[in-house]
């Protein structure tokens, strides 16, 4: 491998070349990164007809003693459904501990000893009340924390806030609301959040860290198909995710078939981007759901909605929508510089007509915003104005590796590519295996080499709650988790090899070998912010099943400037290309670092079969 660092052989790489694509899919947010522990906290998941199903809430006690239905008695106008619980037994006639309802969260709540959980609920009754709130194990047999709500007059809806400190740990806990007093009690907007979230911003710490460790240059949100919805009414409408959480209506994520209460709303996505030090990339609905369309003659309100969303993110705190952002605790503008008009909508009949209306209005109000089209400009020039075009790639491993050359022949003039979703899909491994990660590494090296025409790239989907039924979700994913644990798939670890590429300098690298069909390599210079030192990183993927001995030779480098004592080698490999990670063996396929033995002006390395190495 010849690496040429001479002037004229290098390229400055985009600051945000590699990032992440967050979609509300696989319970990535609701039941995932967003730390809310109660599922269906407002009882709205059953829809706007009553009585409706209240899943996953269930009753504690016999149906002859406690009856629950939903009705429209909520004090919140935009989410009118509340739970009406009628208790038919009194004191000793009730079972010990009382009767009531429980919520198991998203497949069990993670309650940890010594940690505090903030319970907020709204309650109403025409009688005096004595309600026990408890965190228990999954059967209710073990109590982890408990408190009583005692009140003589809650005839008007009353907000109750309680801090519950857990005295034991259980990863599969539930929240119980019980009483042994006859009468009717209404509950609404029952929330349980750990106090310990990232900066108190509501993000589950371990999952936040997994994303932060990728050092993403950008975060695309909220989808994917989630932004479109199956029907327009269930698309992602940012204004419905605004304001106090109790007042958010929530909506059915009908593409991926689960309810989201929109605790992770537009504001929280922007906050997440800021916390990750990543550029937010907002995908808004272009007037198409998967099954419905807004005619271009009626698109004006949606165009205004997009303009309002941009104003919310970056407008003056005195502007109409900027002031709402300020009211929500963030007077400073968010750094929103990219918006995508729709997701995978180019082929839909009126996309072009709708797109042009959005584009013209956005550029008029915000000339500096980069607008992303859904149409592919990699082979032929786009027939409409755009700063970037979106490109998605879900293929098998063999095709993915060959796609390293996808952008070699793309015109160097015109909008750049946003490779916002790429992944080797499940036919090469249900949960993401080594082979998939190696193929994706080859593809990303192709992107590095074409970083003059590809501006940004992200793997998708980012998250999977392992409890999400496979028929509802999308696999494989980069990060897998359940209520309390998480691991990265090989693809996740592969992405870490590219985490220093943002803003780095790409060096020319040429493989001079007959086995180059199964090898890809790239080389960069970067400055590590941790120690302000400059580093050279050479990455090589050996997609073949033979050992390769490779000599890396440098040109245009003063060998005296290289401190070989700091050289290291990191390898991602395993005994079998089909190997996957799991909760039982989370790092089976993960990078292994060792010292690199140096020779003089070149480095001799051995590449294991099916491996990704960096030097």
The residue ranges that bind ligand AHR (CB under 6 A) are: 23, 25, 223-225, 343-344, 392, 421, 460-461, 474
Q: How far is the CB of 432 from ligand AHR (least distance, A)?
A: 13
CB-based contacts of 560: which residues, under 8 Å, 6+ apart? none
Nearer to ligand AHR by C-beta: 264 or 603?
264
Q: Which is nearer to ligand AHR, 241 or 459 (CB)?
A: 459
For residue 567, report the phi and psi dihedrals to the nearest 5 degrees.
-70, 140
Q: Is residue 221 within 8 Å of 280, Cβ to Cβ?
A: yes
Nearer to ligand AHR, 74 or 344 (CB): 344
Q: Write down the least CB distance from residue 263 to ligand AHR, Å.
A: 20
Q: What does the block give as tokens for 147?
A: 């408190």
Nearer Cβ to ligand AHR (176/390) = 390
Helix 320-327 × helix 300-314 angle, to 10°: 50
Give whole-number Cα distances, 506 to 257, 450, 529, in Å.
43, 10, 18
- Say how many residues make up the chain: 615
- Other CB atoms closer than 10 Å to residue 357's CB: what's the count? 19
- For residue 533, the minimal CB distance to ligand AHR (Å) is 37
Which residues partner with 187 through β-bridges? 83, 123
Which residue's entry shows tokens 């220093």? 500
Helix, coil or strand: residue 482: coil
What span, in angstroms and rounded, lies between the C-alpha atoms of 296 and 361?
A: 14
Provide the minimum distance between the beta carbon of 423 and ligand AHR in the complex, in angstroms, as a whole number: 7
Taking the complex as a whole, the smallest distance from the CB of residue 236 to ligand AHR amounts, in Å, to 12
- Which is nearer to ligand AHR, 39 or 225 (by Cβ)? 225
Q: Which residues contact 264 (CB under 8 A, 6 or more apart)?
A: 24, 29, 30, 33, 34, 202, 241, 272
Nearer to ligand AHR, 22 or 358 (CB): 22
Q: How far is the CB of 290 from ligand AHR (least distance, A)?
A: 10
What is the radius of gyration, based on Cα positions, of the chain?
27
Give residue 455's Cα distance to chain centre.
20
Q: In what order do the strands lie in the sheet with 183-194?
A: 66-71, 82-87, 183-194, 116-125, 158-165
Output the smallest distance, CB 26 to ligand AHR, in A. 9
Judged by beta carbon, residue 135 or residue 375, the one nearer ligand AHR is 375
Pick the closer one to ligand AHR by CB: 105 or 224.
224
- Calculate the alpha carbon distances from 213 to 1, 208, 239, 318 in Å: 29, 9, 31, 36
Least gap, CB of 486 to ligand AHR (angstroms): 19
Q: Which residues of 225-255 are buried (b: 16+ CB within 10 A; e: fewer)?
A: bbbbbbebebbbbbebbbeebbebbbbbbbb
Nearest distance in Å: CB 320, ligand AHR: 31
Shortest distance (Å) from residue 421 CB to ligand AHR: 5
Contact predicate 491/437, CB 8 Å: yes
Closest CA to 155 of 180, 129, 133, 181: 129
C-beta of 188 vs 228, nearer to ligand AHR? 228
Question: What's the min distance (Å) between Cβ of 469 and ligand AHR?
Answer: 16
**Terminal alpha carbon distance of the chain:** 12
Shortest distance in whole angstroms from residue 390 CB to ligand AHR: 9
> 496 with 420: CB under 8 angstroms?
no
Q: Which is nearer to ligand AHR, 255 or 447 (CB)?
A: 255
The residue among 226 and 615 lying less far from ligand AHR, judged by its C-beta, is: 226
**Alpha-carbon distance values, 492 to 94, 363, 461 (Å):** 52, 36, 11
Closest residue to ligand AHR, based on beta-carbon distance: 224
| Cβ atoms 407, 454 nearer than 8 A | yes
- In the complex with ligand AHR, the residue whose CB is nearer, 58 or 399, is 399
């Amino acid at each position: 491998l010849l690496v040429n660092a001479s002037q004229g052989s290098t390229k400055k790489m985009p600051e945000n070349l590699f990032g992440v694509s967050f979609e509300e899919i696989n319970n990535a947010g609701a039941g995932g990164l967003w730390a809310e522990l109660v599922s269906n906290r407002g009882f709205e998941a059953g829809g706007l007809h009553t009585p409706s199903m209240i899943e996953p809430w269930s009753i504690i006690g016999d149906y002859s003693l406690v009856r629950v239905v939903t009705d429209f008695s909520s004090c919140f106008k935009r989410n009118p459904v509340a739970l009406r619980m009628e208790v038919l037994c009194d004191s000793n006639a009730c079972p010990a501990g009382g009767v009531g309802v429980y919520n198991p969260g998203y497949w069990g709540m993670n309650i940890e000893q010594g940690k505090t959980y903030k319970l907020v609920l709204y309650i109403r009754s025409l009688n005096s009340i004595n309600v026990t709130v408890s965190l228990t194990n999954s059967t209710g047999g073990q109590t982890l924390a408990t408190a009583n709500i005692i009140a003589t007059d809650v005839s008007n809806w009353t907000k109750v806030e309680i801090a519950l400190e857990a005295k034991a740990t259980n990863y599969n806990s539930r929240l119980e609301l019980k009483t042994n007093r006859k009468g009717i009690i209404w509950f609404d907007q029952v929330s349980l959040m750990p106090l310990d979230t990232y900066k108190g911003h509501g993000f589950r710490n371990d999952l936040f860290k997994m994303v932060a460790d990728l050092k993403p240059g950008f975060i695309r949100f909220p989808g994917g198909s989630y932004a479109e919805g199956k029907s327009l009414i269930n698309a992602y409408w940012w204004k419905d995710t605004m304001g106090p959480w109790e007042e958010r209506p929530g909506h059915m994520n009908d593409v991926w078939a689960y309810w989201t209460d929109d605790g992770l709303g537009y504001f929280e996505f922007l906050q997440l981007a800021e916390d990750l030090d990543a550029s937010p990339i907002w995908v808004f609905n272009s007037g198409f759901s998967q099954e419905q369309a807004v005619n271009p003659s009626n698109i004006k309100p949606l165009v205004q909605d997009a303009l309002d969303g941009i104003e919310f993110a970056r407008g003056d705190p005195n502007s109409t929508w900027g002031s709402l952002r300020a009211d929500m605790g963030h007077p400073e503008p968010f750094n929103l510089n990219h918006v995508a008009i729709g997701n995978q909508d180019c082929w839909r009949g009126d996309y072009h007509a709708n797109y042009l209306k959005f584009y013209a209005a956005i550029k008029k109000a915000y000339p500096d915003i980069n607008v992303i089209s859904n149409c592919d400009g990699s082979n032929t020039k786009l027939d409409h104005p755009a700063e970037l075009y979106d490109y998605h790639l879900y293929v098998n491993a063999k095709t993915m590796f060959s796609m390293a050359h996808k952008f070699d022949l793309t015109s160097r003039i015109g909008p750049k590519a946003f490779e916002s979703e790429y992944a080797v899909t499940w036919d090469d491994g249900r949960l993401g295996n080594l082979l998939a990660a190696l193929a994706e590494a080859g593809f990303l090296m192709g992107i590095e080499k074409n970083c003059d025409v590809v501006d940004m790239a992200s793997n998708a989907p980012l998250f999977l709650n392992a409890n999400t039924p496979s028929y509802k979700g999308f696999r494989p994913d980069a990060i897998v988790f359940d209520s309390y644990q998480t691991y990265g798939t090989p693809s996740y670890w592969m992405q870490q090899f590219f985490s220093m590429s943002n803003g780095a300098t790409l060096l020319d690298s040429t493989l001079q070998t007959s086995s180059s069909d199964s090898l890809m390599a790239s080389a960069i210079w970067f400055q590590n912010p941790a120690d302000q030192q400059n580093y050279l990183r050479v990455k090589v993927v050996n997609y073949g099943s033979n050992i390769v001995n490779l000599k890396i030779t440098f040109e245009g480098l003063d060998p005296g400037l290289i401190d070989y004592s700091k050289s290291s080698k990191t390898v991602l490999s395993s005994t079998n290309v089909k190997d996957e990670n799991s909760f039982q063996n989370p790092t089976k396929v993960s990078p292994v670092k060792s010292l690199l033995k140096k020779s003089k002006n070149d480095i001799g390395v051995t590449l294991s079969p099916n491996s990704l190495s960096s030097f």
